[in-house]
A and B are shown apart, each in its own frame.
Chain A
Amino acid sequence: MTFELDRRNLFSLGALFAGSGLLAACAGASGSPSQGTSDVNAQPKAGGEIFYLNAFENAGWAQSQVGSWHALQVWGLFAEYLFYANSKTEIAPHLATGYTHNADFTKFNIGIRKGVTFSNGEKLDAQTVALNLNLVGLGDSSRAIPRVANIPKVYKQATAVSDYEVEVALTDPFPAFIQQLAGSSNAAILAPATIKLPLAEQSDLKNTFATGPWVVESWKAGKEVVLKRRDDYNWPRPDAKHTGPAYLEKITIQQVSQNLLRVGALESGQAQVVHYTQPSAESRLQGEGFKIINAFASGSVWGLHIRVNARNTQDVRVREALNRAIDRQEIINTLYNSGWKVAQGPVNSQTPWAVDLTEHFKYDPARANRLLNEAGWTGRDKDGYRTKDGETLEFIEYPSVFITTSRDDLTLIAQQWKKVGVKLTLKNVDYDNYNTITAVTIKPPVPLYEIHWGADYPTFLWRWWHSGQQNQFGAPDKELDTLLEQVIAAKTDAEVYSLAKKVQQFVIENHYFIPVHEFPQNFSAAGNLKGISTDGYPRIRLYDAWLDA
């Protein structure tokens, strides 16, 4: 019997290191395939295939599974919605023509666009839309299809009142119903042949028939989705720059989870678009002629919810100290670049109802230390962390599995908190278990929970923070609940926005939330891919995109 490592394995080990270096060198060696003429003088050309690289790819594609930033980028290429948020984050109709409502906001009548067909030939009409809305609004327990959580529970029923008009009835007034519907990524309109299937069959993309400019040609679970152009497409959004079919003939979306490999594939011309470029690579790519798109979703801020029902989070002095001990500018300077911004509150500065609350959480380690002393955390353990009655002031966090920058953010925050004696312990969890282990109902509660979600309308704050909804702070606060109830009851945008500002102020003054930086959806694209844009969610828009030779 021999105990030696196989010599070939040893050579392989060495080759692995040498090869990884070569790979990086090759990846960066050529930028030529991406170089193209400027968008200004060039005329769009139809045809061509592009490769879009995603950091994660779904294994199943039932509509309830497409809520992540990764999935909805893909989903949005072939599925369309009644309403959408344009690049100015304004709600506009797409498959709908508009809507009206009754005086007490319990009935909404939605006009449906004519001449639209699904990729299986079925026609879009009021009956189809009503079927879709009832499925997303009510779910179907007999097929284990959940209702879309963002649709208010006051949803009662949708009925077709004519061929192209649907009436949605609510049990109680909900003035922002259309805004809430428009902001729900799981509420695309699908063909009856798709939505009548059992859940398992809906997860299979070959059964997904939608109205978008591309259709699914093939897919491999967790690996690849291939889309081909739909030649009879002629109902683009009002903000599109052309009508008729899309220019690109084929889009292949592949999962490449390694950040370096996605960027390398783009640089070597093997891919034309990548999602989530590491911020450290952006300036290099820009210098090489690639396009960098940092699209800010309405509301989207990367920050931490403090679960007030968790250990050592009840004292507002401790919560404020956590907020004050974060040097946000250092995070931007160290991990990001000038395209990224420090957060000014729970929602980003592009949001129409944002309010600048920076003064309440400005970096102030001296104040953080004083607050922690006042809260009784005056002892120190052998590593310099604060203690009280023998207990170390420690908080546990599970870095998000959905975004690629979370670990670095939290590592630097741990470094900053250490300076005031607070211990931040990061724990790993896999993709499938992340939502379960960080759920607000889990016992014992996790003290910190990341957020990077978009909020298309202030009613999303109600969804996240009301104790009867997601209850992300973990403990009911009557004052906050009252404010949030006022938000959903308000009847005009001006009124809603004003109340939304009060909500943000309350949340920050009570330090329920730690805003860190604004969170854009980040894409890098080859220079010869013209006409690429994003909408207000933001989702990537390739309908007007074309390849310059």
Chain B
Amino acid sequence: MVALSTVPRARARLSLPALTLRNAYTLVAALIILVVLAWAIVPGLFTSHSPYAGITREQFQAPSGAHLFGTDQFGRDVFARVVYGTRSAVLTALVAVGIGLFAGSLIGLVAGFFGRAVDAVLGRLIDVLLAIPAFLLAVIVVVSLGFATVNAAIAVGASSVAVFARLIRSEALRVKGLPFVESAYLVGGNKLQVLFGHVLPNTYRSVLALGVLQFGIAIINISALAFLGYGSPPPAADWGLQVANGKDFLYRYPWLVYAPGIVMVLTVLALNQLNKSISKGR
């Protein structure tokens, strides 16, 4: 009875405007992500222009009803290139996060759960990886693998392994000492069953939040690699590549840089907001 009566009072302390504003941020962020996902899945629904074929006599047209984000030096529709570029951005970021999540979770889980020598060895490996700046590590990996978007995704994923591993390790350390884990052993569970049946599922919330944040960071890093020429070559519809190609014309035709740049920034900000909401349980 006491617990039930305290819950409404605790909620009453939150001011209504603050709550509404916070939810509004999350709602806007979710909408942005939904649009981005829709662009990635069915780009053809949002534009009738080809992202690759240009009409050269229509080069450098300013944003208008015919070309929402204007046209580039080849007369290609910038909006179409941004929309089609979303697929590449989302897919490569997913690959990157997937690699980081899978490899990092495995390393962190094993280190945290088994402890002792295993933790010492894997912990030092994580420390070494964390000591190398993530972007530098990504550049090294992509130079070794060859310049391509998929390789850039692998590179960014490899550079985030340590971040996931560190988090999962600390979560595993916390969870393995909880009473239900002890109970699992008492009812006959072996180490593997406890690890994958009880410890892993109870670390998901933190990992999910980190995954969302890393998704945004992966978009920035993959775009940065493309900007520097380590990603897909022209004529790929890639956000980073579009900013790189547009920078030579920034003075006269700023939309070539600002259009993909603003979409990229909004996407990352939206992902950051979602991360905050997930972390705080809203």
Q: Do A and B bind each other?
A: yes
- Docked-complex contact A4 and B272, CB < 8 angstroms: yes
**B-facing residues in A272-327 (Cβ within 8 Å):** 278, 280-281, 284
A interface footprint on B99-134 (CB within 8 Å = 1, 0 otherwise): 000000000000000000000000000000000000
With A1-B170, A3-B279, A5-B268 known as contacts, the answer to whether A28 contacts B251 (CB < 8 A) is yes
- Give the residues from 74 to 100 in chain B that come closer than 8 angstroms, CB to CB, to chain A: 74-75
Chain A positions within 8 Å of B262 at CB level = 17
Task: Determine if B230 is an interface residue (Cβ-Cβ < 8 Å).
Answer: yes
Measured CA separation A412–B53 after assembly (Å)? 9
Instruction: Name the residue of chain B whose CB is nearest to the CB of A430.
Output: B143
Any B CB within 8 A of the CB of A414 = yes
Interchain CA distance A350-B209 in the complex, whole Å: 65
Give per-residue flags for B39-57: 1 if the beta carbon is below 8 A from chain A beta carbons, else 0: 0000000000000111010
Interface residues of B in 147-206 (CB under 8 A from A): 147-148, 167, 170, 206
B261 engages A10 (CB within 8 Å): no
For residue B67, CB closer than 8 A to chain A, the reply is no
Q: List the B side residues contacting A408 at CB < 8 Å.
A: 73-74
Q: Which of B1-9, B12-20, B25-33, B242-250 contacts A (4 or more CB under 8 A)?
A: B242-250
Q: Which residues of B contact A14 (CB under 8 A)?
A: 265
A221 within 8 A of B: no
A371 at interface (Cβ–Cβ under 8 A)?
A: no
Interface presence of B61 (CB below 8 A): no
Contact residues in A for B279 (Cβ distance below 8 Å):
2-4
Instruction: Count A interface residues, CB 8 Å.
Output: 41
Complex Cα–Cα for A258 and B247 (A): 9
Q: Once the chains are docked, how many angstroms separate the CA of A3 from the CA of B245? A: 32
**Would you call the interface of chain A mostly helix, strand, loop, or mixed?**
helix
Q: How far is the CB of A381 from chain B (nearest CB, A)?
A: 15
Nearest A residue to B278 via CB reads A3
Residues of A with C-beta under 8 A to B233: 399, 407, 426-428
B222 is an interface residue with CB less than 8 A from chain A:
no
- Say yes or no: A333-B248 contact (C-beta < 8 A), given A3-B275, A20-B257, A411-B74: no
Is A171 close to B, CB under 8 A?
A: no
B247-A3 in contact (CB<8A): no
Residues 250-268 (chain B) with a chain A CB within 8 angstroms: 250-252, 254, 257-258, 261-262, 265, 268
In the complex, A14 Cα to B261 Cα: how many Å? 10
A35 at the B interface (CB under 8 A) = no
A residues in contact with B240, CB < 8 Å? none
CA distance A486 to B74 in the complex (A): 44
Q: A10-B269, A20-B257, A428-B230 are in contact. Are A415 and B216 (CB under 8 A)?
A: no
Cα distance A521–B144 when bound, in Å? 34
Q: Which residue of B74, B210, B254, B258 contacts A412 across the interface (Cβ within 8 Å)?
A: B74
Beta-carbon contact of B229 and A280 below 8 Å: no
Q: What distance in Å separates the Cβ of B208 from its nearest Cβ neighbour in chain A? A: 10
CB–CB B250/A4 < 8 A: no
B272 to chain A, nearest CB (A): 5
Chain B residue at smallest Cβ distance from A383: B52
With A3-B209, A21-B254 already in contact, the answer to whether A415 and B73 are too (CB < 8 A) is: no
Minimum distance in angstroms from B98 CB to a CB of chain A: 18
* A429 interface residue per 8 A CB criterion: yes
Contacting pair A3 B213 (CB below 8 A): yes
Query: Which residues A408-437 have CB closer than 8 A to chain B?
Result: 408, 410-412, 414-415, 418, 426-430
A380-412 Cβ-contact flags toward B at 8 Å (1 or 0): 000000000000000000010000000110111
Closest to A428 in B: B147
Q: Is the CB of B147 within 8 A of A335?
A: no
Partner of B235, one of A258, A284, A333, A414: A414
Label chain B's interface by main secondary structure.
helix
CB-CB nearest in chain B for A432 = B143
Question: Contact between B213 and A5 (Cβ–Cβ < 8 Å)?
Answer: yes
B230 x A17 contact (CB < 8 A): no
Instruction: Name the residue of chain B whose CB is nearest to the CB of A17.
Output: B261
Interface residues of A in 148-177 (CB under 8 A from B): none
In the bound complex, CA of A1 to CA of B265 (Å):
24
Contacts of B59 in A (CB 8 A): 334
Instruction: For the complex, give the distance between the alpha carbons of A464 and B241 in Å.
Output: 34
Most buried by A among B216, B217, B268: B268
A28 / chain B contacts, CB cutoff of 8 Å: 251
Assess whether B206 is in contact with A4, with CB atoms less than 8 Å apart. no
Chain B residue at minimum C-beta to C-beta distance from A397:
B233
- Picked from A1, A27, A333, A418, the residue with its CB within 8 Å of the CB of B53 is A418
What residue in chain B is nearest A418 (Cβ atoms)? B53
Q: Which residues of B contact A91 (CB under 8 A)?
A: none
Is the pair B254, A426 in contact by a Cβ cutoff of 8 Å? Answer: no
User: Per a CB cutoff under 8 Å, which of A20, A407, A427, A430 touches B250?
Assistant: A20
Q: B residues within 8 A CB of A20?
A: 247, 250, 257
Nearest opposing residue in chain B for A284, CB measure: B252
Is the beta-carbon distance between B268 and A17 smaller than 8 angstroms? no
Q: Tell me the bound Cα distance from A407 to B246 in angstroms.
A: 13
Rounded to whole angstroms, the CA-CA distance of A20 and B59 in the bound complex is: 22
- Confirm or deny: A260 has a beta carbon within 8 angstroms of a beta carbon on chain B: yes
Query: A20-B257, A426-B234, A428-B229 are known contacts. Are A5 and B216 too (CB-CB below 8 A)?
Result: yes
Q: Does A24 contact B (CB under 8 A)?
A: yes
Q: Which residue of B lies closest to A431 (CB)?
A: B229
Complex Cα gap A411–B54 (Å): 10
Q: How far is the CB of A164 from chain B (nearest CB, A)?
A: 50
B53 touches A415 (CB 8 A): yes
Q: Which of A20-43 contact B (CB under 8 A)?
A: 20-21, 24-25, 27-28
* B230 close to A415 (CB less than 8 A): no
A330 at the B interface (CB under 8 A)? yes
Residue A46 interfacial (CB < 8 Å): no
Determine the distance from Cα of A34 to Cα of B133 in the docked complex, in whole angstroms: 42
Specify which chain B residues have a CB less than 8 angstroms from the CB of A411 in the assembled complex: 74, 234-235
B73, B268, B279: residue with the most chain A Cβ atoms closer than 10 Å: B73
- From A4, A21, A260, give the contact of B276 (CB < 8 A): A4
A280 near B248: Cβ-Cβ < 8 Å: yes
Chain B residue nearest in CB terms to A412: B74
Closest B residue to A18 using CB positions: B258
Q: Hey, which chain B residues are within 8 Å of A21, CB to CB?
A: 250, 254, 258
Query: Which residues in A have their C-beta under 8 angstroms from that of B234?
Result: 399, 407, 410-411, 414, 426
* 16 intermolecular pairs with C-beta atoms under 8 Å apart: A4-B275, A5-B217, A10-B269, A10-B272, A13-B268, A17-B265, A20-B250, A21-B250, A24-B254, A260-B247, A280-B249, A330-B56, A334-B56, A399-B234, A412-B56, A415-B235
19 other contacts beyond A3-B213, A21-B254, A414-B235, with CB at 8 A cut-off?
A1-B167, A2-B279, A3-B210, A3-B212, A3-B276, A3-B279, A10-B269, A13-B268, A14-B265, A17-B257, A28-B251, A258-B247, A260-B248, A334-B74, A410-B234, A414-B234, A415-B54, A415-B74, A427-B233
Which chain B residues have a beta carbon within 8 Å of chain A's beta carbons? 52-54, 56, 59, 73-75, 143, 147-148, 167, 170, 206, 209-210, 212-213, 216-217, 229-235, 245, 247-252, 254, 257-258, 261-262, 265, 268-269, 272, 275-276, 279
Closest 8 CB pairs of A and B: A428-B147, A426-B233, A24-B251, A334-B56, A3-B213, A411-B234, A24-B250, A428-B233
